[in-house]
Amino acid sequence: MNETYLTLRLPFNACDAEARMLLSTARLFRHVVLHLHSLILGENPRITSLIALKKMYRRRLQEILPNRRYVDGAITLVYSIYESAQALGVPFNDIEFKNWLLFQQAEKEYPCRNVTLQRDYSFRITTISYQGESRRIPLKPTISRSYRRVLGKIIEERQPYVARVVLRGYGERGNVLWVHGEIHLSIPYKFYLEHFKRYRGNHGALYGGVDVNVDRANLAVVDRYGRLRDVRTFWFEEASWKGCPRQRAWSIIGMAIHDMLRYAYHHGVKVLFLENPETLGYLKTLWVRKGERRSNNYNYRVQVFRNRVVERIALKASLYSIGVKYVDPRGTTRSEEHDELMRRHGLDRHTASAYLIALRGMERYTTIQKATV
């Protein structure tokens, strides 16, 4: 089973010589990725593993980007795309790359050689010029108080991490080049839980069902007999607007998720039942293909938010010592049982969905039979 990682996003600004070196490194890295993609298409090698792919192409790619760790990061990126295409049944030659600019070290180590965390929470970044000259430049990202605690623990425990530098924008002001970007620091989620878990124990005896939509999450709390004990709606409507910046959107969603989990913990919920994200991903594709659009940006809202919000809830629940189980979402929105719960308890359709998800979860995962509701 693959290890779960938590990624810290640390924004930064750079200008002049540092900006030029960051841009050159990102463009060389992109060139390596595109060149490797074309080599695989042209040579059609038998790719059995990431190690085999590195052995085949590492030296050739180092002629473009003379840094072994960055080249391995580019190969890892292409290999992950190759694996995803194979799993989805998509031809590898149909893959198109967006206009991103980034570079990464996919090798986990401490300290990370190419993106090195310093004790003052600054970073030393290895950059490569177009002429192949290597230079270490300093970057001082903006770091929140909570992130400082995490970075402090990484330094104290010498925790290996994976690092990436993403350039979000660049331009000129007064004939001075500038770039805006983020340093992405990925650490094992187990390490994060070990040091920052908010509640160490959960003595609750209730169950919760969660129905996630593009603008809200509905929570229904039930007892062991399946009787409805509490309901609550947690809104993040602004985050679903298409013009809302992505970072702000996920900040709003994150606060709503923490509010919901905190509420659930203090109201005795020990297990949350969520819609299975794999099944939900399949269903949302069908919704888009059917052309069921309730607004101009309906496809965007369905594709971007709903599945990822479910995954975020599952990831954050461990911080509150709340267990998570998945149920099949089919029929939880439109069915005779759903309509009956709406009529009997006077619930809106989203809260009724959350209640039905909780009942289905209890039927599947608990040995106590639910009472007639």
Q: Give domain status of residue 372, yes or no.
A: no
Residues 203 and 185 in one domain: no
CA 133 to chain centre: 34
Quote the tokens at residue 282: 């399949």
- For residue 367, what pLDDT is reported? 59
Q: pLDDT tens digits, residue range 75-103? A: 999 999 998 888 878 888 888 888 999 99
Residues 12 and 104 in one domain: yes
Mean of the per-residue pLDDT values for the chain? 87
Residues 239 and 171 in one domain: no
Angle made by CA atoms 203, 206, 211, in degrees to the nearest 5: 125
- For residue 330, what pLDDT is reported? 80
- For residue 370, what pLDDT is reported? 47
Measure CA of the first residue to CA of the last residue in the chain; give whole Å: 39
- For residue 243, what pLDDT is reported? 80
Tally of CB atoms within 10 A around 256: 21
Among candidate residues 152, 173, 194, the one where a domain is terminated: 194
Q: Are 218 and 230 in contact (CB under 8 A)?
A: no
Residues 283 and 244 in one domain: yes
Burial of 104 (0-12, 13-18, 19+ CB in 10 A): buried
Describe the chain by its helix, strand, coil percentages, rounded to 5.
45, 25, 30
Q: Give domain status of residue 370, yes or no.
A: no
The pLDDT of residue 220 is above 80: yes
Q: Give domain status of residue 373, yes or no.
A: no
Residues 206 and 175 in one domain: no
φ, ψ of residue 104 in degrees (nearest 5) = -145, 155
Q: pLDDT tens digits, residue range 161-177? A: 999 999 999 999 888 99
Residue entry with tokens 């425990």: 157
Among candidate residues 133, 167, 194, the one where a domain is terminated: 194
| AA letter at 230 | D
Angle made by CA atoms 147, 151, 155, in degrees to the nearest 5: 170
- For residue 301, what pLDDT is reported? 54
d(CA 275, CA 315): 14
3-state secondary structure of 63: coil
**Dihedral sign (CA 71, 74, 78, 81):** positive
Please, what's the b/e burial string for 276-295 (b: 16 or more CB within 10 A of its CB; e: otherwise)? Answer: bbeebeebbeeeeeeeeeee
Q: Give domain status of residue 79, yes or no.
A: yes
Q: pLDDT tens digits, residue range 4-52? A: 888 999 999 999 999 999 999 999 999 999 999 999 999 988 888 999 9
DSSP H or E segment with residue 140 = none
The pLDDT of residue 289 is above 60: no
- For residue 282, what pLDDT is reported? 46
Mean pLDDT along residues 304-318: 82
- pLDDT tier at 138, thresholds 50, 70, 90: very high
CA 211 to chain centre: 19
Among candidate residues 194, 220, 253, the one where a domain is terminated: 194
Q: How many CA atoms lie within 13 A of 10 on its CB side?
A: 26
Quote the tokens at residue 37: 């993609």
Number of domains forming the structure of the chain: 2
For residue 249, the domain's CATH number is: 3.30.420.10
Inter-axis angle of helices 16-43 and 68-88, nearest 10: 50
The pLDDT of residue 73 is above 50: yes
Question: Beta 102-109 vs 228-235: how paired, if at all?
Answer: unpaired
Q: pLDDT tens digits, residue range 223-279? A: 999 999 999 999 998 887 778 787 788 889 999 999 999 999 999 999 999 998 776
* Integer angstrom CA distances of residue 321 from 73, 82, 203, 274, 280: 35, 36, 9, 16, 25
φ, ψ of residue 309 in degrees (nearest 5) = -65, -40
Residues 298 and 183 in one domain: no
The pLDDT of residue 285 is above 60: no
Residues 218 and 181 in one domain: no
Q: Give domain status of residue 188, yes or no.
A: yes
Residues 186 and 206 in one domain: no
- For residue 221, what pLDDT is reported? 96
- For residue 158, what pLDDT is reported? 95
Lowest mean pLDDT among 103-107, 116-120, 172-176, 293-297: 293-297
- For residue 198, what pLDDT is reported? 78
- pLDDT tier at 331, thresholds 50, 70, 90: confident
User: Which structural domain, as residue segments, surrounds residue 128?
Assistant: 5-194
